[in-house]
Amino acid sequence: MPIKELPETLINQIAAGEVIERPASAAKELIENAIDAGATRIEIATSGGGKSLLRVIDNGSGMNSADLALAVRRHCTSKLDSGLDDIRTLGFRGEALPSIGSVAKLTITSRMRDADGAEISVNGGKLTPIRPAGTNPGTRVEVRDLFFATPARLKFLKSEKAENAAITEVVRRMAIAFPHVHFVLSGSDRNTLDLPATGDDHLARIAQILGREFRENAIEINAERDDVTLSGYAGIPTFNRGNAAHQYAFVNGRPVQDKQIMSALRAAYAETVPSGRYPVAVLSITIDPALVDVNVHPAKSDVRFRDPGHIRGLMIGAIREALAREGSRASTSAASAMMSAFRPGFSPRATAPHWSPQTSPYRPYSQPSFDEPVTEAQAPFAAFSAPSARAEDIPQTEVPTTPSPTGMNLGAVRAQLHENYIVAQTGDGLVIVDQHAAHERLVFEAMRKAMNEKRIPSQVLLIPEIVDLPEEDCDRLMEHAEALEQFGLTYERFGPGAIAVRETPAMLGEIDANGLIRQLADEIAEWDTASALSKRLEYLAATMACHGSVRSGRRLKLEEMNALLRQMEATPGSGQCNHGRPTYIELKLSDIEKLFGRS
């Protein structure tokens, strides 16, 4: 067949297939144009999930008649002065408006300040002449009957509710990236979303999107390495979600959904967030435009870094450093869930007298102080003593009133409930600690520190523990015997289908070597290769820590429980166990008062 040039309308429709996949794609392109035009207020209206109507109005710089004529032609743009190596705007391809016009009914009305307004229309690729129009300064773009010129594309669109949700997500991402812009999303098919500008208070804008709870559980991220800056906020590990929908990434202000960035985020939380759960984060990377290619995808949702390893290292290092800086902090959502789980025995009357801590005869204690240093015997890997006091036998000593110089915040132990939960009193509430989860985290951190410094000390078993396993599991374990010896775990073959454990990590004390070996065999079988195992050494340390931690159902002495709390306060990341669950829950006095109708 002879080669021939395609008609302009067909060329635009092909381009639309790459750039405009659904109404949300059109909304993204139009909002980007408005932001590039310097708008400080952007109003988006939809109908029929954006298929019947999508309208975007901005107060940006606007266009004159000559600009309008070029705006609906392909490869015409005002945003590309220095080539693809120095892209500093959101849009630059010059394909969005002609692509939309080729598959929908497009009308653009615009006016520059101190100039007359003008309007142009494109219906399924057919251009109508420019005409005068009265309008406010800025631009109004109206898209009706999206994909009417390509009916086959309509069959692939989802329900109106799903398309509305996709548009909302686009607006949310843009709002986070540009807090100085006021966004309003409305329409006959949705509730109005009004996001006033927050200026330089980026966290306030994020709270508009992710809720006040994120603000209470967010850690500020601010790091720089070799002229690459990482900023934003990351949630503490126990503040996690069931999917990745609450993870936002930006590169030079551009919202992206880049696999490299999301992979680095997962790696940063690998030890602290359980499988199947996802951290919440809003992260922004600022980099020289010459070092990143934003032109790898027609919709500009992916980027390509010249040195992806550098970006990954910066992200993982900065997030882990921030998590360590927060120490034992736990999520406030755990306390909220606990509050909602309480079932009061009665409903307080509306006429109940007002109550406050100042007027109550039962005034709260002052902030406790713990000035004695943690001794060697109180270290997290020290052996706990035999069962001793019951909860009711713990002496009710006075809480010291002298402020602690080291900022101890987990309080003084008051009871142990059900041989697993430690109840401590703080200056303004109480803390409930899961003793197994807390000790597990402390042992893990101690093992990781020892592993980084040298081989973990081991203890020789008087009688080797013989573990019967399938032959293939024995083979896998022997392949990695040298790596596991770094943890103080030494074993060897003991005939066919058996492993003899001769040494175990000394810091774990007396452990179930049989159960530990079987679990390690299962995990190595899942990873299969030595290279994968080398990357998961810390995960193996977490597995061993679980086997070496103080168990549920163990009664502890008062000094043991207080020592555990002091170690938690001094250990980074102790607010969650190795599986990402919270190690303690804090209830403020005001929360307790609410339960009894006192506030």
Domain ranges (residues) in the chain: 8-195, 202-326, 359-592
pLDDT value of residue 243: 83
CATH class assigned to 202-326:
alpha beta
Pairwise CA distance, residues 389 & 156, whole Å: 67
3-state secondary structure of 254: strand
pLDDT value of residue 389: 41
pLDDT value of residue 75: 67
| pTM for the predicted model, two decimal places | 0.62
Sign of CA dihedral 474, 477, 481, 486: negative
- Enumerate the β-bridge partners of residue 487: none
Pairwise CA distance, residues 98 & 108, whole Å: 11
pLDDT value of residue 13: 58
- What are the residue ranges of helices labelled H in 377-494? 435-453, 471-479, 481-485
pLDDT value of residue 278: 87
Token duo for residue 46: 């939809």
pLDDT value of residue 501: 92
Pairwise CA distance, residues 543 & 562, whole Å: 25
Element containing residue 546 per DSSP (H, E): helix 537-547
Pairwise CA distance, residues 561 & 275, whole Å: 30
Q: What is the pLDDT along the chain (599 residues), one digit of tens a residue?
A: 777 666 766 666 555 545 678 899 899 999 999 998 899 999 999 999 999 999 999 999 999 998 888 888 876 766 556 555 545 667 555 578 888 888 889 999 999 998 899 999 999 888 898 999 989 999 999 999 998 877 777 777 888 988 999 999 999 999 999 999 999 999 988 889 999 999 999 999 999 998 888 888 889 999 998 889 999 999 988 888 888 889 999 988 888 888 888 889 988 887 778 777 889 999 999 988 888 876 544 455 667 788 888 899 999 999 988 888 776 566 565 555 555 555 544 333 333 444 343 433 333 333 333 344 433 333 443 434 333 344 444 454 444 443 343 445 788 999 988 888 999 998 888 899 998 888 888 877 777 776 666 677 888 988 899 998 888 888 888 988 887 887 788 999 998 889 999 998 877 777 778 888 887 887 777 665 444 444 455 556 666 666 555 555 678 888 889 888 988 888 877 887 766 678 888 888 888 888 787 76
pLDDT value of residue 492: 92
Residue 241 makes CB contacts below 8 A (sequence gap 6+) with 277, 278, 279, 280
Distances (CA, A) of 578 to 84, 249, 438, 575: 45, 26, 9, 10
pLDDT value of residue 516: 81
Pairwise CA distance, residues 584 & 423, whole Å: 10
Q: Do residues 160 and 65 make contact, with C-beta atoms less than 8 angstroms apart?
A: no
Token duo for residue 437: 């989860």
CATH class assigned to 359-592:
alpha beta
Element containing residue 27 per DSSP (H, E): helix 23-36
Q: Do residues 552 and 419 make contact, with C-beta atoms less than 8 angstroms apart?
A: yes
CATH architecture of 8-195: 2-Layer Sandwich (3.30)
Which residue reads 């009193």 in tokens?
425
